[in-house]
């Protein structure tokens, strides 16, 4: 695959205060070596009004910094106002990331991005979506290396999460509210209390999951530093960093250097570990193992 | 029109039991990764499927074949063969989820009715319209996340039949898009068809009671006199804020038997009983109860049928799930 590897910043999954979000994106615009930014609420439509007053300014600032801006949509929709919002966004002509098939119905025939919450596990689904106008497909987090090899490079851009907590499920029920004895309708926005998610451990003390509103994430961060170059060789064009409440500008710099061959993964690992602190690393899905596993690079088929 | 009673069959014996107990329609799958209940000892080989369809048709009933998992890249053949065989065997419809599989079925077997599986997670009018317009699906199995009012609104807008869950396990996650089980076991429910596969389930004593485990992860602990439930990730106990709780869902079963009139008034076409992994005794009991309830509804009887299903309900407890507000 020719062309340089693009670094992307996935949609912010957590409920940060609107001003914190604005400042985060302004810093990304000014300082981060990221080519494309996904903006928008994926998890819960109740959060949307908070950032709405800032989103156009942020999009303009990112575009002025030379970055591609893609607007992300909700992963699950059931309410009329959610459907109306996606219709309006799609109708505005902006490039959107469809995370629910609902969005596809609105952007069919026009260029759009397929998000990781729409299942694309095989060539059949891939090719139908490309024929329908998809110009980039973000593969589901559960995808394995052989499937990446089969699906990347089939004529459109291909993206995969390479850093950040793994999205494992979405729902209509809010587990964050439930953990506080509340329900989604009267949630008091308790998801905002945990800017990097709420840990959910097993009853015998094993760290396992992270709750983020209606979404369930892994406890660990997906880290594919050692796989970046091999993924690029398989035809992967875009590499997604998912915003966590850590220094994402530094995370981006590390990944950019490894993608460009300026730093060896083993060398970059130490700096990334300092940023991620005690959060464990995971890479099992890509290597055909349980997603919570960390497969040591030496065992991962010599993909350094 | 009377509500159509759609019943599970994990085995040919369960298919016959469902027909005898009054099912209008039975759904089942092949014995491989092409269906979402790929557990040892379950499902139908090619001959059993053909015989099961013929048996149901002799009794004036229908058979739906679930081919509702997502093929892995490079290996769509088992899914294509399953659809080809279901068409040849005279299945009344196939239940599909994957966009590639839907495309194959629509192109190769346009005359074979297509239903959209709950695994496709189509929970709003635009999603359903996408599948209807691209693949001419005739019925959508609605996810268990909608209230009765939302179901009624969808029925008015989508112009195709709806099938809703009336009894069985409650899945709180958006179905077909949940990677919790593969995160723990490495085996994918979406492409291999088994959530919490039996090969990875174990139970062990820890002094305080019985632990149920999936892979290397403990999902629950039960007291001496408590029945140990099967360790499904979304039904486990987890610790948040220092407290253990059923974070995602209690061990309860959906039971809509006393709100059938509301579902009928909402315009629902068919009621689905979950449980292809359950035995024929479960099938006979649940199907029989719903048959009597639907018949009573048709006769205009206002009182509800005595509900004797708690004994077969998961965890022995029942819920209306998302049909009632407040579940979210």
Per-residue pLDDT reduced to its tens digit, B168-200: 988 889 999 999 999 999 999 998 888 999 999
Helix (H) or strand (E) run with residue B174 in it: none
* Sign of the alpha-carbon dihedral angle for B131, B133, B137, B142: positive
Ramachandran sector of residue B246 (left: φ over 0; alpha: ψ -120 to 50; beta: rest): beta
Residues 137-156 (B) with a CB less than 8 A from some CB of A: 145-146, 150, 153
A139-143, A237-241, B144-148: which range is least confident on average? B144-148
Query: In percent, how much of chain B has pLDDT > 90?
Result: 80
pLDDT for the residue numbered A297 = 87
Which of A31, A6, A27, A2 is closest to A255 using CA atoms? A6
Inter-chain contacts counted by CB atoms under 8 A, chains A and B? 221
Q: What is the mean pLDDT of residues B304-312?
A: 66
Burial of A112 (0-12, 13-18, 19+ CB in 10 A): buried
Model confidence at A208: pLDDT above 90: yes
Burial of A153 (0-12, 13-18, 19+ CB in 10 A): middle
At B5 the three-state DSSP class reads strand
A88-92, A193-197, B129-133, B206-210: which range is least confident on average? B206-210
Task: Give the separation between CA A209 and CA A165, rounded to whole angstroms.
Answer: 9
DSSP letter, residue B167: E
pLDDT band at B321 (very low <50, low <70, confident <90, very high): confident
Q: Which residues of B touch A146 (CB under 8 A)?
A: 73-74
Q: What is the mean pLDDT of residues A193-216?
A: 98
Any A CB within 8 A of B190 CB: yes
Q: What is the mean pLDDT of residues B234-244?
A: 96
Whole-model pTM: value is 0.96
Model confidence at B305: pLDDT above 90: no
Task: Give the separation between CA B309 and CA B128, rounded to whole angstroms.
Answer: 32
Q: Which residues of B touch A122 (CB under 8 A)?
A: 70-76, 98, 100
Model confidence at B311: pLDDT above 80: no
Give how far A36 is from chain B: nearest CA, Å.
25
Count of CA atoms in the C-beta half-sphere (13 A) of B292? 13
pLDDT band at B304 (very low <50, low <70, confident <90, very high): low
User: Angle of helix B46-58 relative to helix B77-88, nearest 10 degrees?
Assistant: 30
Span B288-302, pLDDT tens digits = 999 999 999 999 986
Task: Give the separation between CA B98 and CA B68, rounded to whole angstroms.
Answer: 7
* Sign of the alpha-carbon dihedral angle for B71, B73, B77, B78: negative
Q: What is the mean pLDDT of residues A74-89?
A: 92
Q: Which residues contact B268 (CB under 8 A, 6 or more apart)?
A: B3, B151, B155, B162, B163, B164
More confident site: B144 or A225: A225
pLDDT band at A302 (very low <50, low <70, confident <90, very high): very low
Look up the ipTM and state it. Answer: 0.96
Contact check, Cβ <8 Å, A174/B328: yes
Model confidence at A240: pLDDT above 80: yes
pLDDT band at A300 (very low <50, low <70, confident <90, very high): low
Any A CB within 8 A of B326 CB: yes
Model confidence at B213: pLDDT above 60: yes
**What separation in angstroms does the CA of A144 have from each of A288, B23, B186?**
6, 41, 11
Question: How far is CA A42 from its chain centroid?
Answer: 10
**What separation in angstroms does the CA of B54 have from each of A33, B12, B29, B57, B152?**
63, 12, 15, 5, 35
Span B79-126, pLDDT tens digits = 999 999 999 999 999 999 999 999 999 999 999 999 999 999 999 999
Span B124-153, pLDDT tens digits = 999 999 999 999 999 999 998 899 999 999
Neighbours of A193 (CB within 10 A): 11
pLDDT for the residue numbered A2 = 42
Contact check, Cβ <8 Å, A203/B220: yes
Return the bridge partners of A169, or none: A216
């Amino acid at each position: 695959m020719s062309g340089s590897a693009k670094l992307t910043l996935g949609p912010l999954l957590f409920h940060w205060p609107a001003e914190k979000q604005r400042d985060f994106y302004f810093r990304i615009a000014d300082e981060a070596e990221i080519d494309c930014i996904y903006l928008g609420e994926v998890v819960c439509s109740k959060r949307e009004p908070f950032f709405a007053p800032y989103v156009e300014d942020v999009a303009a600032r990112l575009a002025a910094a030379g970055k591609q801006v893609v607007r992300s949509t909700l992963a699950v929709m059931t309410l009329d106002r959610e459907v109306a919002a996606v219709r309006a966004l799609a109708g505005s002509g902006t490039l959107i990331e469809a995370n629910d098939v609902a969005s596809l119905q609105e952007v069919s025939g026009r260029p759009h991005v397929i998000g990781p919450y729409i299942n694309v596990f095989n060539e059949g689904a891939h090719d139908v979506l490309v024929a329908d106008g998809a110009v980039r497909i973000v593969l589901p987090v559960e995808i394995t290396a052989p499937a990446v090899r089969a699906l990347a490079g089939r004529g459109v851009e291909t993206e995969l999460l390479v850093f950040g907590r793994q999205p494992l499920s979405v729902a209509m029920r809010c587990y964050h509210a439930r953990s506080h004895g509340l329900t989604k309708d009267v949630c008091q926005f308790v998801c905002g209390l945990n800017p990097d998610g709420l840990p959910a451990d097993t009853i015998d003390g094993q760290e396992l999951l992270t709750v983020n509103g209606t979404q369930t994430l892994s406890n660990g961060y997906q880290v594919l530093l050692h796989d970046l170059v091999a993924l690029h060789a398989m035809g992967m064009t875009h590499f997604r960093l998912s915003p966590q409440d850590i220094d994402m500008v530094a995370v981006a710099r590390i990944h950019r250097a490894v993608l460009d061959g300026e730093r060896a993964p083993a060398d970059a690992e130490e700096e990334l570990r300092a940023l991620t602190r005690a959060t464990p690393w995971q890479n099992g899905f890509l290597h055909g193992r349980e997603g919570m596993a960390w497969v040591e690079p030496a065992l991962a088929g010599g993909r350094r | 029109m009377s509500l159509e009673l759609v019943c599970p069959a994990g085995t040919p014996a369960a298919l016959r039991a469902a027909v005898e107990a009054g099912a209008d329609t039975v759904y089942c799958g092949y014995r491989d990764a092409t269906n979402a209940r790929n557990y040892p000892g379950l499902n139908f080989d090619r001959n059993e499927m053909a015989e099961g369809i013929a048996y149901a048709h002799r009794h004036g009933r229908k058979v739906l074949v679930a081919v509702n998992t997502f093929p892995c890249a490079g290996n769509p053949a088992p899914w294509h063969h399953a659809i080809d065989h279901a068409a040849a065997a005279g299945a009344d419809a196939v239940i599909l989820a994957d966009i590639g599989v839907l495309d194959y079925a629509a192109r190769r077997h346009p005359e074979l009715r297509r239903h959209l599986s709950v695994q496709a997670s189509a929970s709003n009018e635009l999603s359903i319209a996408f599948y209807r317009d691209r693949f001419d699906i005739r019925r959508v199995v609605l996810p268990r996340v909608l209230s009765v009012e939302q179901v009624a609104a969808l029925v008015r807008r989508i112009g195709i039949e709806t099938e809703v869950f009336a009894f069985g396990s409650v899945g709180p996650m958006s179905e077909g898009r949940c990677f919790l089980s593969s995160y723990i076991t490495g085996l994918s429910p979406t492409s291999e068809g088994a959530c919490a596969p039996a090969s990875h389930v174990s139970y062990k004593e820890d002094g305080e009671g019985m632990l149920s485990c999936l892979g290397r992860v403990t999902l629950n602990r039960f007291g001496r006199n408590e029945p140990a439930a099967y360790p499904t990730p979304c039904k486990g106990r987890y610790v948040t804020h220092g407290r253990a709780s059923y974070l995602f869902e209690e061990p309860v079963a959906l039971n809509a038997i006393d709100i059938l009139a509301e579902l009928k008034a909402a315009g629902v076409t068919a009621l689905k009983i979950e449980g292809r992994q359950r035995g024929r005794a479960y099938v006979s009991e649940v199907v029989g109860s719903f048959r009597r309830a639907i018949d009573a509804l048709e006769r205009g009887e206002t009182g509800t049928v005595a509900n004797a299903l708690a004994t077969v309900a998961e965890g022995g407890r029942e819920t209306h799930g998302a049909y009632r507000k407040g579940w979210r």
